[in-house]
Amino acid sequence: MSNQLSLLLVRLPLLALFVGRWDWPLALAGLLAILVEGAARYALSEQWVFSRRGLTMWQPVVYWYNIHDILRLESEVILPELTHFATAEPLPRVDIQVRVDRHGTPSPQPGAIVYSEGLSRFGFGVAIMPGDYTEVVVSPALEKSPYALYKSILEPVLRWAFGQRGYALVYGGCFAWGEEATLVVPAQDKGKTEAVLTAVQSGARFLSDDFTILRGDGRVFSFPKPVTLTG
C-alpha cells in the first residue's frame, strides 16, 4: 500500500513532468523520479511512518526510570545502564527528559549548554536546558549509541542533579551487612568489583559495583549496573 501511495503521489507526477513537459528520455526520467521519491520518503520518515495501514504520524517510544524517588527520567532512548530503575508505568512528573531532535543538531535555547560537531544528524550534538526539569536534547547519531549517550552526557547530568538534591553519585562499589554499608573506592581504578563480589559470596548484600548514591547524613542507596570484570 505504501509503495502504491508513493507511486501515485510522487513518482507519476514527476514522470509526467520530466517526460511530458521537459521531453527527457524515459529511462533518465524514471531514475530521477525514483531518487526524488527516495529523498522525500527519507525526509518524511522522521515524522511519518509508512506501514500497511498507510501513512501514519511517527510516535517515539518512551522509557521511564525512577531512581529511588530521588530522580525520575523520561527518555526516547533506551538506557541499559539504568535498567534496574526501569518502570513500565508512566511517571506523573520527571526531573530529566531525554529526547532526540529528528532534524539534526539540537537548536540552542537561552541558557542552554550546547555542543555540536557541526555534522547535523550524522554527528555528536547535544543541548542541555535546565529549568523546572532538565531537558536533554541529542542528535539522532546518539540514539544509535546509548552507552555513549549515557557516559558522555547523561552521567554528568545525573551527578549534577543528585548534587542539587543533597546527594552525591560517588565512584565506588558498595555492599552491606545488615544496616551497615561499606563503600569500596579503588586506589588505581581496579579491584573494587572483586572486593564487592567476594563480600557478596560471603553473605553480604550487593548494593553497587561502579557507582553508589550517598546522602549527606551517610545513608547510601544502591545504584546497580551491569557488572564488568577486567583482567
pLDDT > 90 in the chain, percent: 38
The answer to the question of residue 230 being in a domain is no
| b/e per residue 102-141 (b: at least 16 CB within 10 A) | eebbbeeeeebeeebeeeebeebbbbbbeeeebbbbbbbb
Query: Looking at 141, 165, 189, which one is the last position of a domain?
Result: 165
* Segment among 50-64, 149-163, 192-206 with least mean pLDDT: 50-64
pLDDT tens-digit profile of 15-55? Answer: 677 777 777 787 777 777 677 766 665 555 444 444 344 44
- Which residues constitute the domain of residue 89? 63-165
The answer to the question of residue 128 being in a domain is yes
The answer to the question of residue 36 being in a domain is yes
Query: Looking at 165, 180, 200, which one is the last position of a domain?
Result: 165
The answer to the question of residue 46 being in a domain is yes
Same domain, 182 and 208: yes
The answer to the question of residue 231 being in a domain is no
Interatomic CA distance for residues 122 and 115, integer angstroms: 14
The answer to the question of residue 39 being in a domain is yes
Number of domains in the chain: 3
The answer to the question of residue 228 being in a domain is no
Same domain, 187 and 207: yes
Interatomic CA distance for residues 14 and 29, integer angstroms: 8
Query: Looking at 139, 165, 191, which one is the last position of a domain?
Result: 165
Same domain, 159 and 69: yes
**195, 211 in Cβ contact below 8 A?**
no
* pLDDT at position 13 over 50: yes
**Higher model confidence: residue 228 or residue 27?**
27
What is the average pLDDT score of the chain?
A: 80
